[in-house]
Homo-oligomer: A and B are copies of this chain.
Amino acid sequence: MAESDPAEFLRDIPVFAGVPNDELQALAASARAESYRVREYVFMEGDAADWFCVVRSGRIKILRQSRAGKEVVLELLGPGEPFGGVAVIEGRPYPASAQAAQASVVLKIPREPIVALAERRPAIIREMALMIGRRLRDAHDSVKSLAVDSVEARLAAALLRLAEREGAPGPGGLALPFPLTRQTLADMTGTTVESAIRVVSRWQKDGIVRDDGGRLVLPDLDELRALAEGEPG
């Protein structure tokens, strides 16, 4: 139970929804689970796209670096979320790096078998298209947010997005089920650590967020939503 069956795990991923069991078994057989420590890279921008990956546990950052060394976090992925797929089907190098935001396990499926399977099963491509479409919308949200919103509004929006997808309702409010540093938050919103710290600590004073040992809890989603929209509050 520490390591459940890979095929079972793949079963629950929308991309493989239409695939019969035996083919999924075969695919799972070619896969390997790999562990990464915090800050370790799964792959780097520019690497050949040899693996289709799925987060099995932990948290993976998809990021790019500016020449000044500043990081931009494009996506923050949790268990069950695939990545690297677009590059694999396109046959291009990865356009961004993937780094473990915490100790993580990644299921890695080699290029060949998944391309072959997708050839036989168009449903896979279809599901992938839908997935990429969703991510394109998310990316466009980010563009809009970066273009017109204040730092505070962007931070609020980022927290809400994470909370919506993965928030766990608890006593004190909706809790993000993973540690999230101010630095990562800053890198997700195109600001600096200092600004992220300032805003979040003000929010803590105002009771809009709580810090539960590195995990953030959001007791007042409505207020956050107002901030994300740039309202007077």
Could you list which residues of chain A lie within 8 angstroms of chain B, going by C-beta atoms?
A: 64, 66-68, 70, 72, 74, 86, 89-90, 95-96, 122, 125-126, 128-130, 132-133, 135-137, 139-140, 142-144, 146-149, 189-190, 229-230
- Nearest chain B CB to A45 CB, angstrom units: 11
Copies of this chain, tallied across the complex: 2
Q: Please give, as numbers and ranges, the residues of chain B lying within 8 Å of A133 by CB-CB distance.
A: 86, 89-90, 132
For the complex of A and B, 10 pairs with smallest distance between CB atoms: A147-B190, A122-B122, A139-B139, A146-B146, A129-B129, A86-B133, A66-B148, A72-B147, A132-B132, A72-B144
At the interface, is chain A mostly helix, strand, loop or mixed? helix
B139/A140 in contact, CB under 8 A? yes
A146/B229 in contact, CB under 8 A? no
Name, among A67, A90, A136, A147, the residue most crowded by chain B CB atoms within 10 Å (CB to CB).
A147
A64/B144 in contact, CB under 8 A? yes
- Nearest chain B CB to A59 CB, angstrom units: 19
Q: Please give, as numbers and ranges, the residues of chain B lying within 8 Å of A125 by CB-CB distance.
A: 122, 125-126, 129
B130/A90 in contact, CB under 8 A? yes
User: In the complex, given contacts A122-B122, A136-B136, A143-B190, what are 10 additional A-B residue pairs having Cβ atoms less than 8 angstroms apart?
Assistant: A64-B140, A66-B148, A68-B148, A74-B140, A89-B130, A125-B125, A132-B133, A139-B143, A143-B146, A146-B190
B148/A96 in contact, CB under 8 A? no
